[in-house]
Structure 1
Amino acid sequence: MKGRVIFFVVLIGLAFVATASLDESRQSSLETRLKRETIMVKSPKGCVFYECIARCRQRGYLSGGYCTINGCQCLG
C-alpha cells in the first residue's frame, strides 16, 4: 500500500514537470511565429510590392510581406 502511494506521488510529479515543459515550448513557438523582420529595400522609388513579397518568401516567410515607409515588412 505504501509503495503504491509513493508511486502515484512520483507519477504526479512527473506529470507536473512535463506540463511545465510543454507550456515553455508553446510559449517559445508562439514568440517565433509573431516575430517580424524589416528588410530595407534600396530602390529610388521606395518599396516595390512584388519585390518585397518575393524577398520575404525567399527568406522563409510564406505569407510574404507588405511595403511601409521604412521598407519591407515580412509577415510570419
Structure 2
Amino acid sequence: MGLWTLLEGFLLLANAFAILNEDRFLAPRGWSFSEFSVGRTKSLKGQLIGLIYATQYMRVPLIILNSICIFVKLVSG
C-alpha cells in the first residue's frame, strides 16, 4: 500500500462524511450539530461530529481534490 492509495482512502472517507444528511441520518441517531454545540466537544463523539460538519463545509475543496484524483487516474492509465 503506497502513499497515493492511503490519500485516496482518506479522500473517500471525507466524501462519505460530506454526503451525510443531518435530518435523515445524523439527527435520529443523536449526532446533530445541536448536541455538538452544547459543550461536549472534548469527547470522541463531539470530535467526530465536528469532523463530519467540517467536511460538509469544505465541499468545494473536496470537489477540487476529487477532480485532481480523477485526472491523475485517467492520465496514469
Q: Which protein is richer in strand relative to its size?
A: 1
TM-score range, shorter chain: 0.3 to 0.5
Output the TM-score relative to the length of structure 2: 0.33
Q: Which protein is richer in helix relative to its size?
A: 2
Higher relative contact order (CA 8 A, sep 6+): 2
